[in-house]
Chain A
Amino acid sequence: MNTTVPSNNSPMIQLKGVRKSYGLYEVLKGIDAEVARGEVVVICGPSGSGKSTLIRTVNRLEEIGSGSIVCDGNNIHQPMPARELNLLRSRIGFVFQSFNLFPHLSAIDNIAISPIRVKGVPREAAYAKATQLLERVGLADKAHAYPGQLSGGQQQRVAIARALAMEPPVMLFDEPTSALDPEMVGEVLAVMKGLAADGMTMMCVTHEMGFARDVADRVWFIDQGQIIESAPPDEFFSRPQTTRAQRFLSDLRH
């Protein structure tokens, strides 16, 4: 494996000149940015600006045109055997807007299956860990419920637990609360806050500005495929530098 052993002060995620196009349309126009270990970054920006595309390049659900992405010391987009890429992916947690739980498996099976099948964790250890994780997201009583029997908020919490089961050092979230009814947003954000408090490195696309204010160390504002502002949340919210960010924030408030 390409493990240049990461020193503790090297960034967890490092993007250098990342470009990506769909056909003639350039979605990412040269992204240079870093996420430090233990840092929580919130990514926001108008619809279609490339937020999802960016976050999906970090675990290589999307390929990039040029540039490089290093995550936890591993160069994600260099050519490598499929096995190695699978291993790298398993060390990057990803939470989808639409949950994507496996509907044919109960909550606890959803969480345990990947440690068992991907990492070869013994069943008993995997289920013990899954039970722990369900407790952590407040769903210990739903272990044997199927996704179809859970509310959106509960499904998303199971999805977070499922990602955590692989013990990734970093978690990516793509609008984890956008598909939820308003009354369920809070329970998911609370779980994410807990994660942040435990020191998890997080990269999080969200329009929940309250969450950004309370939890984020830094906000990236993306517009038309470029990060045009990167600042601590209080600075970003009180003194946005670009007119586009100003307009975006005033649109959000109204």
Chain B
Amino acid sequence: MISDIVAIIRDYWLLLLIGQYPNGPLGGLAATLMLSVLAIAFAFPVSIALALARLSKSPFLNWPVTALVYFTRGVPLLMLILWGYFLVPLVTGANVPAFLTMLVTLVVYQGAFLSEVVRGGIVALGHGQMEAARALGHSYLGAMRYVILPQALYNVIPSIISVFVATIKDTTLGYVINVPDLTFAASQINNQLLTQPFQVFFILAAVYYVICWSLSRVAVLTERRITRRRAGTAPQPTAKSLKLAALTDQPS
């Protein structure tokens, strides 16, 4: 059993890592990570924009975004992916790569979910902070950027991380529109071996687990560092400690 798994990894590690590349598109774990990172990197700012739009008093901003959020939250992600895959080329006539379809769908879908988390964090903060900032002359957006969001986002870090983890897991759905990611590579291997589905998909599960677990760890550590800094118990950062932090703490 374990030797099977080792053998599979030995024989197929390159496929699992980068898919058919360079003979085909970049795939495997590399594609999964790229899709995850890009989806999160875009969904996060999108979610803040959506949250601000929903908090806006202007019906032109508020209304369509509210509709979008309700719609997105009420429809299974798989539906959105299939619609995007079949409808967009039909309507626009453009040949959209599956990777891009998947990315955009994930950004919209997770952005909508995340916007509710962000909005909750902002609302939970109460009026006092915004009033204090406005009384000092900050613009609405300035107050958001320097006063409200740093607190609101910090307070909802655990929920934000749940959405990030969900995003990574949801990249597996790209399989249905042939995005050549890690799941796709694993099922290719499974189709070749035919007899070892448990072993193949065990590897798949283990890799996703490690990715998601690492992300949670990074989040917990980040949160702790912010907490310590805000409680003032951390020593004032010096040039040296900053350089050290750059070497040891940066996930990228």
Interface of A with B (CB < 8 Å)? 59, 61, 82-83, 86-87, 89-92, 94, 96, 98, 100-104, 106, 113-114, 117-119, 144-146, 148-149, 162-163, 166
A104 in complex: contacting residue of B132, B133, B136, B230, CB < 8 Å: B230
User: Would B151 and A96 count as touching, CB distance under 8 A?
Assistant: no
Nearest CB of chain B from residue A77's CB, rounded to whole Å? 15
Distance of A144 Cα from B231 Cα, bound (Å): 10
Q: Cβ of B178 < 8 Å from any Cβ of A?
A: no
Distance in angstroms from A83 CB to nearest chain B CB is: 7
Query: In the complex, what distance in Å separates the CA atom of A202 from the CA atom of B134?
Result: 19
Q: Which residues of chain B come closer than 8 Å to A91, judged between CB atoms?
A: 137
Shortest Cβ gap from B130 to chain A (Å): 9
Tell me if B232 and A61 are in contact (CB < 8 A): no
Can you list 23 contacts pairing A with B, beta carbon distance less than 8 Å?
Answer: A61-B134, A61-B135, A86-B137, A86-B138, A89-B137, A96-B128, A96-B131, A100-B131, A100-B132, A102-B129, A102-B147, A103-B230, A104-B154, A104-B230, A114-B133, A117-B142, A118-B138, A119-B137, A144-B236, A149-B231, A149-B232, A162-B136, A166-B137
Q: Inside 8 A of A118's CB, which chain B residues have their CB?
A: 136-138, 142
Cross-chain contact of A96 among B132, B146, B147, B236 (Cβ < 8 A)? B132
Number of A-B contacts (CB under 8 A): 73
Scoring A83, A113, A117, A119 by chain B CB atoms within 10 A of each residue's CB, the highest score goes to: A117
When distances are taken between beta carbons in the complex, the residues of chain B under 8 Å from A61 are: 131, 134-135
B140 within 8 Å of A (CB atoms): yes
Measured CA separation A61–B130 after assembly (Å): 11
Q: Which residues of B contact A162 (CB under 8 A)?
A: 136
Query: How many chain B residues touch the partner (CB < 8 A)?
Result: 22
Assess whether B140 is in contact with A82, with CB atoms less than 8 Å apart.
yes
- Give 1 or 0 for each of B133-163: 1 = CB within 8 Å of chain A CB: 1111111101000110011001000000000
- Structural contact, A106 and B232, CB atoms closer than 8 A: yes
> Are B131 and A146 within 8 A (Cβ)?
no
Nearest-neighbour CB distance to chain B for A195, whole angstroms, equals 17
Known: A96-B128, A100-B131, A113-B146. A146 touches B137 (CB 8 A): no
Convert B105-147 into 0s and 1s, putting 1 for each residue whose CB lies closer than 8 angstroms to a CB of A: 0000000000000000000000011011111111110100011
| B131-A90 in contact (CB<8A) | no
Let me know if A114 and B137 touch, CB within 8 A: yes
A89 and B139 in contact, given A98-B128, A104-B151, A148-B231 (Cβ under 8 angstroms): no
Closest chain-B Cβ to A32's Cβ sits at a distance in Å of 25
Interface centre among A94, A114, A145, A162 (most CB of B within 10 A): A114
Chain B residues lying within 8 Å of A101, measured Cβ to Cβ, are 132
CB-CB under 8 A from A146, the residues of chain B are 230-232
Q: Which residues in B have their C-beta under 8 angstroms from that of A163?
A: 135-136
A residues near B140, Cβ cutoff 8 Å: 82
A94 near B129: Cβ-Cβ < 8 Å:
no
